[in-house]
Amino acid sequence: MKEKWLIGRQSPDSLPLTHMVQTLFDSVENARLVEYKLHRLEHHLTISGRMLNDLCRLRRLLLDEADLSQPLPSRCVRMG
């Protein structure tokens, strides 16, 4: 059964060393890309949270809602 799976494919043992090294470099590059994307996502979430807080505060000011020292609604959270 294993022989049937290998038809048209190379086993890892038969791959040239340069291919295995290239695969390792691709993996490292992909890991760095994922790390970068996660860092950017964290940054965007922080900024979005701050913007949401600002909008909630403005809404409360414009609508003359409760004192700003009052707790914010659950969808408006204080950051930092």
- Tell me whether residue 74 is in a domain: yes
pLDDT at 41 over 90: yes
In the structure, what pLDDT confidence band is assigned to residue 55 with cuts at 50, 70 and 90?
Answer: very high
Query: In sequence order, which residues have a C-beta less than 8 Å from that of residue 50 and are 6 or more positions away?
Result: 79
- Tell me whether residue 55 is in a domain: yes
- Tell me whether residue 26 is in a domain: yes
The count of structural domains within the chain is 1
pLDDT at 59 over 80: yes
Helix (H) or strand (E) holding 46: helix 17-62
How confident is the model at residue 23, as a pLDDT?
78
Share of the chain above pLDDT 70, in %: 54
- Tell me whether residue 58 is in a domain: yes
- Tell me whether residue 34 is in a domain: yes
- Tell me whether residue 5 is in a domain: no
pLDDT at 1 over 50: no
- Tell me whether residue 25 is in a domain: yes
pTM comes to: 0.51
- Tell me whether residue 40 is in a domain: yes
Q: Which domain holds residue 54?
A: 18-80
pLDDT at 80 over 60: no
